């Protein structure tokens, strides 16, 4: 993609940072939590919004569906699947809700997950289990850990004849582990168990081939590592499962007489009037981010991974902490154990450990401190996007050395 202001490819991180609106006073090492949308993609969103508000009836009734189809087609090519099996949702949590609240479970069915599952999605699992009488089984997956085998083994050891579905991360939020998801899905499938993959962090962080993974259900975010606007995610449902799955909001598609597309597409394609511009910008984000470095997306993902691995090694050395997992389990985030917190756990699900506040208030560093597996145990999780560089992690090491003395 030729950028509007012609950036130099393979530019320095400091110069690449100018394509974002990030506060220049803050050293931002937390791309993983909410992403950050580049200015050029936000400008595309402004153009779509102007088109929408210039003639709303024309936009929603005549123009929107083909625009969504085009964006969905580019997203499908990016994540390697058939566009007919892919729908837009607001975020991965919405995708998890759509799947779990569509399926029927019986009393004493077992719903399998891990203790690394993101709290919001674990809450959905608990909700549907409470309604149906099913039981949530939690695999205790170790961290720190020595190999990917420990992840797969911990999950498979919890399978019983009553296991009906597994909710498994592709990349974990708290511990930042890239699970061997294709192996997990395959081994569960061989046991007759469908998997719902929570891929919130995976698109744009790691190479993603949804078709090859083969899960019954895969949901991911586009606002994190793909850098689309907030409110853009997707759900992929394998074709043999699509008749089971309906959106959380039932709208016009439920009784549509149309036969030119599946009911799955019709129902998810219109869930009421909302701002669809984040979906439309997914293609712009794919093209923009893919054009930042020579080699495009593969180079970008590997660049971010190398930055993360180097930062992790430096921080572990400064803090006197052993490397907590093999490099093969790392993408563009890494979590490192810290000394126990002396404070009460935060009341917010978004953490805000006092140490996180101190890093921001005293050192202008934004990085999450995460209770794991529960307070007072905690981790620090670093992220690396193309605008980050080694000196920033050096500042973090200096700050932590000062605050943890």
Quick check: 231 pLDDT over 90? yes
Q: Which CATH number, 3.30.1360.120, 3.20.20.70, 3.90.1150.10, 3.40.50.720, labels domain 13-29+294-403?
A: 3.90.1150.10
The residues of the chain that CATH labels 3.40.640.10 are 46-286
pLDDT confidence tier of residue 9, bands split at 50, 70 and 90: low
pLDDT (0 to 100) of residue 7:
44
pLDDT (0 to 100) of residue 351:
59
pLDDT confidence tier of residue 349, bands split at 50, 70 and 90: low
Quick check: 343 pLDDT over 90? no
pLDDT confidence tier of residue 405, bands split at 50, 70 and 90: confident
pLDDT confidence tier of residue 137, bands split at 50, 70 and 90: very high
pLDDT (0 to 100) of residue 315:
97
pLDDT (0 to 100) of residue 375:
85
Least reliable range by pLDDT among 172-176, 348-352, 369-373, 376-380: 348-352
Quick check: 188 pLDDT over 70? yes
**Mean per-residue pLDDT for 228-243?**
98
Quick check: 78 pLDDT over 50? yes
**Mean per-residue pLDDT for 167-187?**
98
Residue 352 to residue 145: CA distance in whole angstroms: 26
Q: Does domain 46-286 have CATH number 3.40.50.720?
A: no
The residues of the chain that CATH labels 3.90.1150.10 are 13-29+294-403
The position carrying tokens 């608990």 is: 126
pLDDT confidence tier of residue 342, bands split at 50, 70 and 90: confident
pLDDT (0 to 100) of residue 263:
96
pLDDT confidence tier of residue 3, bands split at 50, 70 and 90: very low
């Amino acid at each position: 993609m030729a950028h509007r202001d012609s950036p130099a490819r393979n530019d320095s991180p400091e110069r690449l940072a100018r394509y974002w609106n990030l506060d220049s006073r803050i050293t931002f090492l937390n791309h993983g939590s909410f992403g950050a949308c580049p200015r050029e993609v936000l400008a595309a969103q402004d153009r779509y919004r102007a088109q929408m508000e210039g003639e709303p009836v024309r936009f929603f009734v005549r123009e929107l569906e083909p625009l969504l189809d085009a964006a969905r087609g580019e997203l499908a090519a990016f994540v390697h699947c058939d566009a007919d099996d892919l729908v837009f949702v607001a975020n991965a949590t919405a995708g998890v809700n759509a799947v779990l609240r569509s399926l029927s479970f019986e009393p004493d069915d077992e719903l399998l997950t891990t203790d690394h599952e993101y709290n919001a999605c674990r809450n959905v699992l608990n909700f549907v289990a409470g309604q149906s009488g099913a039981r949530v089984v939690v695999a205790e997956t170790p961290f720190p850990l020595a190999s990917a085998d420990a992840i797969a083994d911990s999950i498979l050891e919890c399978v019983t004849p009553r296991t009906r579905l597994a909710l498994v991360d592709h990349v974990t939020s708290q511990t930042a582990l890239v699970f061997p998801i294709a192996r997990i899905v395959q081994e569960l499938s061989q046991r007759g168990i469908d998997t719902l993959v929570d891929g919130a962090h995976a698109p744009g962080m790691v190479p993603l081939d949804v078709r090859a993974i083969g899960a019954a259900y895969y949901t991911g975010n586009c606002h994190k590592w793909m850098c689309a606007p907030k409110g853009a995610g997707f759900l992929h449902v394998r074709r043999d499962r699509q008749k089971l799955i309906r959106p959380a909001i039932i709208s016009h598609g439920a009784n549509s007489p149309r036969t030119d597309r599946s009911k799955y597409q019709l129902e998810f394609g219109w869930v009421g009037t909302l701002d669809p511009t984040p979906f439309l910008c997914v293609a712009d984000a794919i093209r923009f981010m893919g054009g930042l470095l020579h080699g495009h997306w593969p180079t970008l993902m590997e660049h971010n991974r190398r930055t993360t691995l180097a930062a992790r090694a430096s921080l572990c050395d400064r803090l006197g902490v052993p490397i907590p997992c093999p490099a093969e389990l790392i993408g563009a985030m890494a979590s490192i154990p810290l000394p126990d917190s002396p404070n009460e756990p935060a009341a917010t699900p978004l953490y805000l450990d006092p140490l996180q506040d101190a890093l921001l208030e005293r050192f202008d560093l934004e990085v999450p401190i995460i209770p794991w597996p529960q307070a007072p145990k905690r981790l620090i999780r670093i992220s690396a996007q193309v605008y980050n560089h080694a000196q920033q992690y050096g500042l973090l090491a200096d700050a932590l050395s000062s605050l943890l003395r």
